Structure 1
Amino acid sequence: MAQNTRRIAVFVSPHGFGHAARATAVMAALQALAPDPGFEVFTTVPRWFFADSLGETAFGYHECLTDLGLVQRTPFMEDIAGTIRALDDLLPFRPAVVDALAARIRQLGCRMVLCDIAPLGIAVARRAGLPAVLVENFLWDWIYQGYGDAALDRHGAYLAALFAQADYHVQATPACLPRPADLHAAPVSRAPRTAPAQIRQALAVEAGQKMLLLTLGGVRGGFPSLKALAARDDVCFVIPGASPAPDFRGNLRLLPHRSSFFHPDLMAAADAVAGKLGYSTVAELYYAGAPFAYVWRERFRESAPLGAFVSAEMAGFGIAPDAFESGAWLERLDELLSLPPRPRQEENGATQIARFMLAHWPA
């Protein structure tokens, strides 16, 4: 990478792709607002995810377990015992790890640290003497409290103390637990970059055929029966993550997690979306406007406030995980496709956060 005068260390939670999508949206907004931003990304989210949004040479990549979140058995079921074992291994963060990362980001010339709920970044920023910007719509201590487990609460208390040490706190709409913050931002979303008509043509969506995107937010497994989808040949189903290579068969478009299609472009081209309820999906659909049949998770505390936001501000309805996986939700497919779109033109929260970070750049 070329030398940049505004270099930022970006620590990203690897729990799904949603946190990476939000952090990438902020980085892209910084690229648009400033002539010289540079990024050093610390996470275990695959490097390609950031490259697809920012370009191959716009950032340095450092594979690092910055956060755990929750261990998932399936896209809709958490493994609490596995989560506790993993947290026991990870927390508290080892001083040697924090020291080494602090030395690395100083050596790389970073002047600010951006954390999308990756608490390690805050600890590293404190050790390096750099300002930390925390971006969240929930924090892990609040999520852990929903399971009523003493071990999770113990780890949550440690993380809460770290989160409180952030120099700047940004809450992104829809926030699960609204609280005082230095900035309350609009929904944060990556922007599409290809016209919907071009995307539909590339996917071979027939004229007059509806296009429905199925998404699980980067977590593997849990898709409904392909046979049930194939029976609705009036609808073209596009399913990222359903195949190791692009596979177009009948009315199904099975794609790998990384394909030639930029995910926000698929969102913007779809007539409707169905899948896991997560922040980045909600934020991208908030601007794209397509109706959303969202799958809630009974015990995951983020589901209720995100679902309430969809009901109040967007078009869509909730479906149960078992109905999604069995294909029973297809009984409501016509209802979903009949909902009118509700696109938004307001300023993206990513731009608001980028402007805030530049305004608070250290002297």
Structure 2
Amino acid sequence: MLIYFCSSSHGFGHAARDAAVLQELRHLRPEWTLVMSSALPAAMLTMLLGDESIQQRPCQWDVGMVQADALGVNRAATLSALDQLEQRLPATIQAEASWLESQGQPVLILGDIPPAAAALAQRLDAPLVWMSNFGWDDIYGPLGDAFHRWADAAAEAYRSGDLLLRCPFDLAMNWGMAEHRLGLVCGRPRAIPPAFEAGLDDLQAPLVLVGFGGLGLSLSSELFQLWPGHHFLLPASAEASSSSELAGLPNLTVLPDGMRPVDVLGRCSRFLGKPGFSSFCEAMAIGVGLHVVERSGFAEASALMTGLQRHGQYRCLTRSDLDTGAWQLDQPLLLPSDAPLSPSGAQDAARRLVEWVGDHF
């Protein structure tokens, strides 16, 4: 059995949750061929997957929204990128279909959530399972006439699927198919190097993980110096897009290359970042409080914030709060209105996929 995962190139969050599900599939079905297809850098996918037996195929399947920075989007650039991708997709679909046919195995296509996954499945006459908390039809639809063609095309593609694995913090996804609702979809923390762990043990301050996605966000060193009683952990990818002076701050540590934020999140008392699916899942699964900066121009953000207030411990920040250092790290966390979500969404997704394959192959 070959599982081929078409993963969105919109940020790192889709790849993180897709990698988590593939890891769980590997545990359940070690004999299956698992493939991750994404345009993200190979080194990033290797870090997320943590398993050399899961193959990589470098393909761009969608655009999503081109981001101006970690908190904003560029609509004009998005439309241009969509036009360009439309010209390239037929060749990508043909090449990947030919490669899959050459493997001589039954194939299941998974999509999170490039509409083009439907065209690949149709070309192969293979079943198609979607996994997501939103579709690009939900995102493009509210953006005006220029995006309506793309919203309609995405909705039509999504309706061709056989099953939807519905993630939490979800938008409508009215695609007319069987659904299976998941809990929090995130990877399991891995062990960190003993020397780095010892350095964290020596710190005499609460740890705060800073996370603004793959693009990062430029934050002035003065802002961190406003909180000398806290020690901040910053992913290496984020540090690259921030001022180099951050690396020299006494109360900030840049994570080593190859170390995922989730691997140290359990050592932290708070997380400071943007609304992001994977960050929310990881923090809620571990029980870490979230200090979240508002995000505009992206419909998923509203669903994420609603889910946060229902199921997480949190503080909500404005962009002005972020830019002035009013991060509220000395304030008590607000409590959720509802019960916590199950932390086993990735395992549940893998089990449901194994069951589905057993019923249909």
Q: TM-score scaled to structure 2, two decimals?
A: 0.88
Match of 2:32 in 1: 37
The aligned runs of 1:232-311 (5 Å cut-off) are 232-240=227-235, 241-244=237-240, 247=247, 249-255=249-255, 259-311=257-309
Measure the CA separation in 2 of the matches of 1:30 and 1:281. 22
* Residues 340, 230 of structure 1: alpha-carbon distance in 2 compared, 3 angstrom cutoff: farther
Report the AA paired with residue 183 of structure 1. Answer: H
Measure the CA separation in 2 of the matches of 1:282 and 1:110. 35
Match of 1:355 in 2: 351
Contact 2:8/2:64 (<8 A) preserved:
yes
* Residues 171, 346 of structure 1: alpha-carbon distance in 2 compared, 3 angstrom cutoff: closer
1:312 match: secondary structure? helix
Measure the CA separation in 1 of the matches of 2:304 and 2:155. 22
Contact 1:311/1:317 (<8 A) preserved:
no
Q: TM-score scaled to structure 1, two decimals?
A: 0.88
- Give the alignment partner of residue 102 of structure 1, picking from 97, 112, 116: 97
Q: Which runs of 5+ in 1 are unaligned?
A: 1-5
Measure the CA separation in 2 of the matches of 1:152 and 1:63. 27
Measure the CA separation in 2 of the matches of 1:202 and 1:10. 37
Measure the CA separation in 2 of the matches of 1:103 and 1:304. 40
2:315 match: secondary structure? strand
Q: Structure 1 residue 133 and structure 2 residue 129: aligned? A: yes
* Residues 311, 218 of structure 1: alpha-carbon distance in 2 compared, 3 angstrom cutoff: same
- Give the alignment partner of residue 213 of structure 1, picking from 209, 213, 216: 209
Report the AA paired with residue 161 of structure 2. Answer: A
Contact 1:275/1:293 (<8 A) preserved:
yes
The aligned runs of 1:89-238 (5 Å cut-off) are 89-91=84-86, 94-108=89-103, 109=105, 111-147=107-143, 149-177=144-172, 181-194=178-191, 201-204=197-200, 206-220=202-216, 222-238=217-233
1:293 match: secondary structure? strand
Deviation at 1:151, TM superposition (A): 1.8
* Residues 178, 145 of structure 1: alpha-carbon distance in 2 compared, 3 angstrom cutoff: closer
Report the AA paired with residue 121 of structure 1. Answer: A
1:134 match: secondary structure? strand
- Give the alignment partner of residue 23 of structure 1, picking from 18, 21, 32: 18
* Number of residue pairs aligned between Structure 1 and Structure 2: 350
Measure the CA separation in 2 of the matches of 1:282 and 1:152. 28
Report the AA paired with residue 316 of structure 1. Answer: Y
Deviation at 1:323, TM superposition (A): 2.6
Deviation at 1:41, TM superposition (A): 1.8
Report the AA paired with residue 301 of structure 1. Answer: A
Deviation at 1:110, TM superposition (A): 5.5
* Residues 232, 110 of structure 1: alpha-carbon distance in 2 compared, 3 angstrom cutoff: farther
Contact 1:238/1:254 (<8 A) preserved:
yes
Contact 2:184/2:342 (<8 A) preserved:
no
Deviation at 1:198, TM superposition (A): 5.9
2:36 match: secondary structure? strand
Match of 1:3 in 2: none
Measure the CA separation in 1 of the matches of 2:266 and 2:63. 31
Measure the CA separation in 2 of the matches of 1:284 and 1:295. 17
Match of 2:324 in 1: 327
- CA displacement 1:308-345 (0-9 Å, x = unmatched): 11111110022123432x13333x12015x66899969
Q: Which runs of 5+ in 2 are unaligned?
A: none
2:326 match: secondary structure? helix
Report the AA paired with residue 284 of structure 1. Answer: E
Contact 1:11/1:121 (<8 A) preserved:
yes
**Identical-pair percentage:** 25
Report the AA paired with residue 226 of structure 1. Answer: S
- CA displacement 1:45-75 (0-9 Å, x = unmatched): 1222332243352222221111100011111
Measure the CA separation in 2 of the matches of 1:334 and 1:21. 30
Measure the CA separation in 2 of the matches of 1:295 and 1:207. 26
Contact 1:199/1:266 (<8 A) preserved:
no
Contact 2:138/2:173 (<8 A) preserved:
no
Give the alignment's Cα RMSD to 1 decimal. Answer: 2.7
Contact 1:224/1:327 (<8 A) preserved:
no
1:182 match: secondary structure? strand
Q: Identify which range, 72-81 or 241-250, moves more after superposition.
A: 241-250
Q: Identify which range, 96-105 or 237-246, moves more after superposition.
A: 237-246
Match of 2:70 in 1: 75
Contact 2:215/2:238 (<8 A) preserved:
no
Measure the CA separation in 2 of the matches of 1:101 and 1:260. 29
Contact 1:225/1:327 (<8 A) preserved:
no
Measure the CA separation in 2 of the matches of 1:41 and 1:174. 24
